[in-house]
Structure 1
């Protein structure tokens, strides 16, 4: 028998009264500015939320594939801009202020309901369906504005300046989108285009001003992962475009080969973004964070547009030359993807650690982008266009890989320290 006294048993944790626990779970206020959780990971709720955008982007890309004209392309760009702005607002709010509770879940599910309804009208946004889409989008912006306001009223006075500006821009957006509903289709698209450009420009200025002297960090691994996941969403349109093209076309050796080459172009998109940009934190100060955020819009738009172009590329696989609009869409999409990557690289936190390495990679990307535009102008046969674009993407990755090896590391290694 031991003479030592027995260890005290741990006190049982006290239960929470049902009423108090329910109220806390349903009505707990959001996290205030500055209460960023740096160690959190992307939640199942965020992944579920992003799935709705798969449908929205898919509807817009499907319409572009069926109406591959200058007007169709412009409509796609404007509608995609609206979709991306909505996604950015929902993503940033959860990143900065969301919690794993009933209040946050309820608001996100309401957003998902509105987004699902919007998906019904996105495909014909340049027609009468645009009226309903404008109203639904205004309601969504109003809900997002309310969420940002719930944070604003909790913030200490010294942190309210930037949120106040953000709220003003959001309220203006609600009014503009609601006012666009009764306009003619052409006028409505013009208003939407101005809204997308103006919203991004103004918010970019606000963000740059806010991060000039940051009082706390806002970027976490989870936020970087969310942006990468959105790229995965739009890359799915490349796969869908190839499958739809092969499904609707009489399949033969040339058609199947063109489809597989088109799919490989999507692989090239992924490989360059995954190794050059993803999983790398941006700088928090100056214009770097704003550039990193807003450069992702044209990047993701270009990838989704390429996915829409895949349908026609496969359908015209046996043509001697690629149709004009399709050739420019494919070449332009690859060029935009490469140029936005050039813009993104200097925003990364580790850019200054290897400036000669990064600048040489940027030069290679610019050269490949010019070559992609030249291919769009030359209009080779669809299979040759897909093969040439694939080789350009492959060449840029190989060049970067060799340069990283010469620096004593691997291209896909996460920088440390």
Structure 2
């Protein structure tokens, strides 16, 4: 008869399993899990960004000046860079274990603290925000370094460059903390532009001769979920506007038209971009990733503009700054869609369809800018922008029907 296991042997697997669950290193470069799905932890992580974006948009809704716009754009860029780092790390290297979960929860704690200070980032709160953001970058850099340490020597060149940029970013953000509000904003803007530009170049060179694929359906889904996050700001903007304004038929109608603009954003992104894999080539993948920044920023800015749109619903003409904000946001959303389409893997299968859709999107973007320039009444501005968004989708819908592949080629959402 086999001997009964000793107490030592019965405890050993438990101890080994616990250590493995808590201290197992992340996946190395090349160990991409193409069969996984988006986890509940990732969805929970994204919820923190709902608060961050909401705080930034709420402050922007109170100040549509050039300074308010610049502050929102820079702060949104900081938020998006943090989200991109956390998202791509989990996608490429994360595991379903205690080590990964613990690090993500620490990130969420820092992000939650940042949300307290994001709303007044252009004041004294910006100092604390800079310190917290530098700490967050340090944590993210540690995670990337933990992958670099166990990578094969031939795969370390790109991670080393990435880490160098991250460390430079930490120094830059930390150096901004003691500066004046204007100095901090300028340094943050330099960080956002420089980080995105340099990392874009690094990504292009990395994927010039790829040794393994990195594009997966969960990654595409996460980017789509972030667009959903900022679309939520459109709903919040309308609700806040109607809540804080004396309601009438005209005010309510303006709010509903504004909300329908959000629907137009969703229809165009969902059927033209969402759930479509980008190409693996460097230029296409880099363009696909970093074009999502201005697109998401434009949608969030439109959400902030909804408050003003409802607040001025009874005006004969939309205020200048608000009119340009709404028209510009719709135009940017349409133009970024134009830029994204050629990066998709299936673009070459239907070039005639895609090119005709791109032409209509550019025309609609020009129309949105003209609408912002002409400054009609808020309800009319919202209606014009809604009609432009609807026209682009209807045109794409008809073109796909004529292609005879609408059901198979446009993913159901």
TM interval, shorter chain, is over 0.9
Structure 1 residue 409, shift from structure 2 partner: 1.1
1:160 pairs with one of 138, 145, 156: 156
Give yes or no for the alignment of 1:51 onto 2:47.
yes
Show the counterpart of 1:39. Answer: 35
Q: For the Cα contact (< 8 Å) 1:276–1:412, is it kept in 2?
A: no
Residue-by-residue CA offset, 1:192-225 (whole Å, 9 max, x unaligned): 0011000000000000000011110111100000
Q: For the Cα contact (< 8 Å) 2:302–2:325, is it kept in 1?
A: yes
Show the counterpart of 1:296. Answer: 292
Within 2, Cα distance between the matches of 1:126 and 1:374? 31
Structure 1 residue 18, shift from structure 2 partner: 1.7
Show the counterpart of 2:72. Answer: 76
Give yes or no for the alignment of 1:314 onto 2:310.
yes
Give yes or no for the alignment of 1:182 onto 2:139.
no
Structure 1 residue 266, shift from structure 2 partner: 0.1
TM-score for the superposition, normalised by structure 1? 0.95
Residue-by-residue CA offset, 1:46-95 (whole Å, 9 max, x unaligned): 00000000000000000000111111011000000000000000000000
Within 2, Cα distance between the matches of 1:195 and 1:111? 20
Show the counterpart of 1:357. Answer: 353
1:233 pairs with one of 191, 210, 229: 229
Show the counterpart of 1:96. Answer: 92
Within 2, Cα distance between the matches of 1:353 and 1:19? 54
Give yes or no for the alignment of 1:65 onto 2:61.
yes
Show the counterpart of 2:83. Answer: 87
Q: For the Cα contact (< 8 Å) 1:313–1:382, is it kept in 2?
A: yes
Structure 1 residue 414, shift from structure 2 partner: 4.9
Show the counterpart of 1:21. Answer: 17
Within 1, Cα distance between the matches of 2:282 and 2:318? 44
Within 1, Cα distance between the matches of 2:17 and 2:350? 52
Residue-by-residue CA offset, 1:109-138 (whole Å, 9 max, x unaligned): 000000000000000001111000000000
Within 2, Cα distance between the matches of 1:40 and 1:388? 42
Higher relative helix content: 2
Q: For the Cα contact (< 8 Å) 1:165–1:206, is it kept in 2?
A: yes
Give yes or no for the alignment of 1:330 onto 2:326.
yes
Q: For the Cα contact (< 8 Å) 1:254–1:317, is it kept in 2?
A: yes
Larger deviation, residues 308-317 vs 403-412 = 403-412
Give yes or no for the alignment of 1:139 onto 2:135.
yes
Q: What does 1:374-389 align with in structure 2 at a 5 Å threshold?
A: 374-389=370-385
Residue-by-residue CA offset, 1:349-381 (whole Å, 9 max, x unaligned): 000011111111000000000000000000000
Give yes or no for the alignment of 1:268 onto 2:251.
no
Within 2, Cα distance between the matches of 1:117 and 1:350? 42
Q: For the Cα contact (< 8 Å) 1:275–1:412, is it kept in 2?
A: no
Q: For the Cα contact (< 8 Å) 1:95–1:223, is it kept in 2?
A: yes
TM-score for the superposition, normalised by structure 2? 0.96
Within 2, Cα distance between the matches of 1:212 and 1:348? 17
Structure 1 residue 413, shift from structure 2 partner: 3.0
Q: What does 1:209-228 align with in structure 2 at a 5 Å threshold?
A: 209-228=205-224
Change (3 A) 1:53 1:298: same
Within 2, Cα distance between the matches of 1:72 and 1:411? 44
Structure 2 residue runs without a partner (length 5+) = 1-8
Q: Give the 3-state SS of the residue equivalent to 1:153 in structure 2.
A: helix
Q: For the Cα contact (< 8 Å) 1:364–1:396, is it kept in 2?
A: yes
Q: Alignment RMSD, CA only?
A: 1.1
2:387 pairs with one of 391, 395, 411: 391
Q: What does 1:247-266 align with in structure 2 at a 5 Å threshold?
A: 247-266=243-262
Q: For the Cα contact (< 8 Å) 2:28–2:150, is it kept in 1?
A: yes
Q: For the Cα contact (< 8 Å) 1:241–1:307, is it kept in 2?
A: yes
Within 2, Cα distance between the matches of 1:26 and 1:413? 43
Residue-by-residue CA offset, 1:231-277 (whole Å, 9 max, x unaligned): 00000000000000000011110000000000000000000000000
Show the counterpart of 1:11. Answer: none
Show the counterpart of 1:5. Answer: none
